[in-house]
Amino acid sequence: MRNHGCVQPWTAPTPTAPVRGTVSVPGSKSVTNRALLLSGLAHGRSVVHGVPATRDSALMCGALRSLGLTVLVEGDTVTIDGGTLRGGGTVDCGLAGTVMRFVPPAATLADGPVVFDGDPHARERPMAGVLDALRALGAVVDGDRLPFVLHGVGGLPGGDVTIDASASSQFVSGLLLSGARFDKGLTVHHDGKPVPSLPHIDMTVAMLREAGVTVADPESSGEPNTWRVEPGPIAARTWAVEPDLSNASVFLAAAAATGGEVTVTGWPAESTQPGTEILEVLERMGAAVEARAEGMTVRGGDLHGIDVDLHEASELTPTVAALAALADSPSVIRGVAHIRGHETDRLAALRAELSAVGAQVEETEDGLRIRPGTLAGAPWRAYADHRMATAGAIVGLRVPGVTVDDVDCTAKTIPDFPGRWAELVG
């Protein structure tokens, strides 16, 4: 793993009292980038409210502009005139999985070649699930990972395709989002190990239906591991983005780690975001969870270890692992082998950084075993991964002297995380 650190490390604040406060978090990256792409694929003008000022959102807006669309950003509102896509441009994917996996299927509708590239580590992230599927559906693609060129010819026949999506649910979502624009629609069969983060596919299906697309999923059709999108128009509409619950988990973790009380405002009554699972995890670790009129509140108590399968909500792994290192008993995190292919190899990174501050960490086939130890401050490498950086901030709540080498990478999903964190923890 490479260290993508910056010159000025950030010292994670260690409060002298339990953390108490109320926090509002930016909109969901996952909802935002689905809404932005569907807006680009619709015929007509769509408006997306609540778009967070994050790098991932900016990269998706940039990708749509590269495909010839008009995208106007005014504060947290984005207006998109969707419709005909143009070739000849270059899409910068950065490190955004939602850009590198969601945009290529849409680019098959462009009238010329589209070049895709991204950050150095993005070139190591798995892409075969999407690119091989597009080839099987009739697309011409040069390359198997970033950088690659997709030769758009103004459309794609579509039809049936079988993929192995065990590395990322984004392979399924990326295909489904554009499937209604294919001539024959699209049927995706998954053939492999269980798909991680299935709630993200549920989110895709729900948003397609909100845009007027007819979708059959395993629950509605009774066909396991099969999703079918009927051909037809995608409706232009107004979208409202709910708060990002995985990012909210970081702030709720501050209450659990310090025995404090934190409320996240705007918590939705119902959500397809996998981040909702943090509430059950925190309760099992000893915190109290209460839904209030003003938001979701977590009150910390004695922090206990946990044995948990995070296969459906793997993006919570760095947050839960950080709390596990601060708990009073060992923890086991299971079902997350696929996060080795995220922004960095998160299992190896967590083992390295938690071990550096004094925890005993073993990397298993599909997760981590974490035994708390006598912890002491040390440099914490973020590996250009926003969730690794926030995990270091959580450890720093109880361990003075934790210095994160690249806290700025949190801008991927949380604007001004250092300022928000300092305001909460003092």
**Residues contributing to the annotated binding site for phosphoenolpyruvate:** 29, 97, 125, 170, 346, 387, 412
Q: Cβ atoms within 10 A of the Cβ of 49, count?
A: 14
Query: In this structure, what token pair is assigned to residue 36?
Result: 């932005």
Query: In this structure, what token pair is assigned to residue 169?
Result: 């649910």
Q: Which residues pair with 263 in a beta bridge?
A: 22, 297
Which DSSP string corresponds to 281-341? HHHHTT-EEEEETTEEEEE--S----EEE-GGGGGGHHHHHHHHHHSSS-EEEES-GGGGG
DSSP class of 194: P
Q: Which element (helix H / strand E) includes 116?
A: strand 113-117
How far is it, in rounded angstroms, from Cα 15 to Cα 233? 53
Contact predicate 281/315, CB 8 Å: no
- Candidate list 242, 261, 312, 315, residue with the active-site label: 315
One-letter amino acid for residue 289 of the chain: V
How far is it, in rounded angstroms, from Cα 134 to Cα 128? 10
Q: Which residues pair with 72 in a beta bridge?
A: 79
Length of the chain: 426
Examine the residue annotation and report whether 315 is marked as an active-site residue of this protein. yes
Contact predicate 87/111, CB 8 Å: yes
Q: Which residues are annotated as a binding site?
A: 29-30, 34, 97, 125, 168-170, 197, 315, 342, 346, 387, 412
The residues carrying an active-site annotation are 315
